[in-house]
Amino acid sequence: MEIISGFTAAKARLARQVVLDFGKISPGSKETFGREMSPEEVVAKILSDVKTRGDTAVIDYTARFDRCRVSSLEVKAEQIKAAYNTIEPELLEAFRMASRRIRKFHQEQKELVWRGVEGKEWGQLVRPLDKVGLYAPGGTAALASTVLMIAIPPKVAGVKELILATPPGPDGSVPPLMLAAADIAGVDRVFAMGGAQAIGAMAYGTQSVPKVDKICGPGNSFVVLAKKAVFGQVDIDALQGPSEILVIADESAKAEYCAADLLAQAEHGQLSHAVLLTTSPRLAQEVRKELDQQSLLLPRQQIASESLKNNGVIVILDSIEEAIELANLFAPEHLELVVKNAETYLNRVQNAGCVFLGEYSTEPIGDYIAGPNHSLPTGGTARFSSPLNILDFMKIIDVVKMDRDGVQKLGPAAMLIARAEGLEGHARAIEKRLKS
């Protein structure tokens, strides 16, 4: 992992542009569709087929891409119930504990939402969405924790129906832990389908899959492109990119902790980012040694090592203030402040998905059980977007409440503006109230 020094060099090294680039040719497109196609063309073809042929298209693409044929897309209730019998009780209790904490955190968010218009000239109505589609990666890398994170906020917000799409395994079934997590989180229906075809099914509706108002959840490049393509037909949460972490550490930090947290993100994938900003040259050298040693113990060592080689960097800086300035420019998904008196620096953080304070606030705790959502902005989008939260599943309806005095006070100015814009009908509608 490269070590560099100085603010200017670090600023150049960490500079990035948010670009969704999935290549010119989609691997396997010729074998599947008879000609070479770009990923965007593949997704457009799949979405068009799903829109036209519904369930049949989804089942056909599941057979092609997931190498299994399902007779029915929806997972039966008895299968979900049976899933509990195959999971260790301790693991189930861990998921229930995580569910309780995630629900409590988002319930507190809900209590901050303002409602009502009584006694005011204006106000807001807050209404939950009717139907939300959730997408969780499955197959060999089933992320059951993601199900909790993307399902509980809309449930707390009051969404009437939640459906989950997740890819089936080779035998055509959804992993039991995914089914149990969905049930614990309050998902109403589960469908064994993945990829762009699942996004299309939820966006357009099929014979068995209901059309939803919003789709959220992470996925591979085809899922991301499909979400981008259906936006406008439905709402989406975000276009999630590779995972990333930025750790700010001073001389008090433990090298083994810093290295472990960097590796925890690096093992996600070869495109993950792992960055350490430190004021201690000694710590920089020790962390690099720890990375080499600890990575040998990881089953995903090759992935983590490739990630650190391509997108990992250790930066030596003169001050924590410089580090925070760089962090705000980078706008990381996860930001760890492993420094003395970490909370005193919190008010300087402007751009981050989630901040972890102190050496014991390791990022993986946030991934699973702390309570705040782990569905966070990536790729620098923390500059303008937020973690998944209950407001993502609510719509706000503005309310105006005028009486005669209000119209007499505000009407003349409104009429002047209307006539300046050439909209005489607007002015006359107000004028009629003033004359009455």
Q: What are the residue numbers of the active site?
A: 333-334
Angle at 377 between CA 134 and CA 124, to 5 degrees: 70
d(CA 263, CA 123): 48
Task: Quote the distance between the C-alpha of residue 236 and its chain's center.
Answer: 10
Instruction: Note whether 224 and 239 are within 8 A (CB).
Output: yes
Q: Which residues of 161-172 are buried (b: 16+ CB within 10 A; e: fewer)?
A: bbbbbbbbbeeb
- Reported as half-sphere exposure (CB side, CA atoms, 13 A), residue 41 has a value of 15
369 closest CA partner among 95, 92, 84:
95
Is residue 60 exposed (0-12), middle (13-18) or buried (19+ Cβ within 10 Å)? middle
* Bridge partners, 5 (sequence order): 316
Residue linked to tokens 């129906």: 161
Q: Which amino acid is at 115?
A: R
**What is the DSSP annotation of 3-48?**
EEESHHHHHHHH---------SS-TTHHHHHSS---HHHHHHHHHH
b/e sequence 72-98, b meaning 16+ C-beta within 10 Å: ebbbeeeebeebeeebeeeebeebeeb
> In sequence order, what are the residues at sequence separation of 6 or more whose Cβ sits closer than 8 angstroms to the Cβ of residue 188?
161, 162, 163
CA 293 from centre of chain: 32
Rounded Cα distance, 204 and 21, in Å: 26
The token duo for 166 is: 């997740």
Q: How many CB atoms lie within 10 A of CB 137?
A: 18
Burial call 147-156: b when 16+ CB within 10 Å, e when fewer: bbbbbbbbbb
Q: Would you state the structure tokens that stand for residue 175, as one six-digit string?
A: 């992993």
User: What residues contact residue 416 under an 8 Å CB cut-off, 6+ apart?
Assistant: none
Strands across the sheet with 2-5, in order?
2-5, 312-316, 273-278, 244-249, 334-338, 354-357
